[in-house]
Amino acid sequence: MMIAMIMVASLTFMSCTKEGPAGLPGKDGKDGTNGTNGLNGQDGTAGCIACHDNSQVNFAVTQQWEMSKHATGGLYVRNSNNCAGCHTSQGFREMIAAATPNANTAGTIQNPVPPNCYTCHNIHSTYSPADWSLATTANVTFRIKPENTHDFGKGNLCATCHQPRIPSPMPVLGGPDITIPNANWGPHYGAQATIVSGKGGFEFGTGYTNSFHTAGVANSCVGCHGGDANGINGGGHMFNLGYTTTTGADAVITATCTSCHADASSLNALMALKKTELNTLLLQLRVRLKEIGIMDPNTDRVVPGTWTSTQAGAFINHNLVKYDHSNGVHNFPYAKKLLENSLAAIQ
């Protein structure tokens, strides 16, 4: 209690004591050393402007893509592991990252999207024009004949998918009969790379040659199909060269062709002639395959059963030329010889 009374008395004394006058001001101290200026930050839009400028090129390319079969074909729903590598954007990127020559992915692709900018280009990797670099330019190994490779230049990107799959079982030239399990058997629909390169067909006999297009067109697919767009008809990022006019007639964009061919008029006449010649051979082979019984007379699909390797190989060649869809433009000499030799083999 005594200690408490002393503390209270001390506080009372302190509270009654006034402060004395302020002392003289002290001397000013020296300023500290100025710090080093930091680096200026980059304008947040500077990287974007490198590509997203006001030239409207991006808009034009996007509009072309939106009208292309890549965007409108609807086949990206084929997202199972054995289809997604070529039918979906995510599957394609997975396939080329794994450097596998087939179209299989690890599993079904969820939320699949069609081929788009991110499929073929390295978009938003560096945020510079380098983002327009192609996702792959590696030489193509053919699925149907893995011993064959081809360099399409920038067209390697296209040929990675635009090639036939391996029919299972695959016939061997001069080999035993094979048993075809179902009507889906065959080389599938993307035969372009096989015909352009002159590799991958079921080559009966001899006499195979290639057109100038096989080695003489820089960047192959891209060199012809990726030229300036012709309105909304094709070219550019639509990539098709054939289209239907407003009158319903078939037409071909020849702007990239006339750098080698004399003029569009003579070129169109040549294409019409070769188309007729090739389609005549194709029809003859189709009739013969139906006579043999390996081709369904109504659907043109294969008839399941046991067939010779020669019959099965002729069916493969028919579909390779049919589903090349170029009417001989890609590689007329090779396509013609495939049909001629197939007909001779099954007579």
Q: What is the pLDDT of residues 327-344, one digit of tens each?
A: 999 999 999 999 999 999
Q: State how far the Cα of 86 lies from the Cα of 161, in Å rounded to an integer.
A: 6
111 plus 213 within the same structural domain: no
Eight-class DSSP state of 323: T
301 plus 271 within the same structural domain: yes
pLDDT of residue 90: 97
Residue 283 lies in a domain: yes
Q: State how far the Cα of 119 lies from the Cα of 239, in Å rounded to an integer.
A: 15
Residue 46 lies in a domain: no
Residue 305 lies in a domain: yes
DSSP β-bridge partners for residue 179 = 306
Residue 98 lies in a domain: yes
Q: Is the pLDDT of residue 311 over 90?
A: yes
pLDDT of residue 220: 97
96 plus 203 within the same structural domain: no
187 plus 270 within the same structural domain: yes
Q: Is the pLDDT of residue 345 over 80?
A: yes
183 plus 322 within the same structural domain: yes
Q: Is the pLDDT of residue 236 over 80?
A: yes
pLDDT of residue 72: 95
125 plus 168 within the same structural domain: no
Task: Tell me the pLDDT tens digit for each residue of 253-280.
Answer: 999 999 899 899 999 999 999 999 999 9
Residue 16 lies in a domain: no
Range of 269's domain?
A: 139-225+260-347
pLDDT of residue 18: 66
pLDDT band at 49 (very low <50, low <70, confident <90, very high): confident
Domain boundary among 117, 136, 155: 136
315 plus 342 within the same structural domain: yes
103 plus 131 within the same structural domain: yes
175 plus 119 within the same structural domain: no
Q: Is the peptide bond before 25 cis (omega within 30 degrees of 0)?
A: no
Q: What is the pTM of this model?
A: 0.85
Residue 308 lies in a domain: yes
For the chain, what is the domain count?
2
Residue 10 lies in a domain: no
pLDDT of residue 41: 79
Domain boundary among 85, 108, 136: 136
323 plus 293 within the same structural domain: yes
Answer for the pair 333, 214: CB distance below 8 angstroms, yes or no.
Answer: no
Domain boundary among 136, 154, 187: 136
Q: State how far the Cα of 171 lies from the Cα of 313, in Å rounded to an integer.
A: 7
114 plus 208 within the same structural domain: no
Residue 328 lies in a domain: yes
Q: Is the pLDDT of residue 17 over 60?
A: no
77 plus 209 within the same structural domain: no
pLDDT of residue 58: 93
Is the alpha carbon torsion for 123, 125, 128, 131 positive or negative?
negative
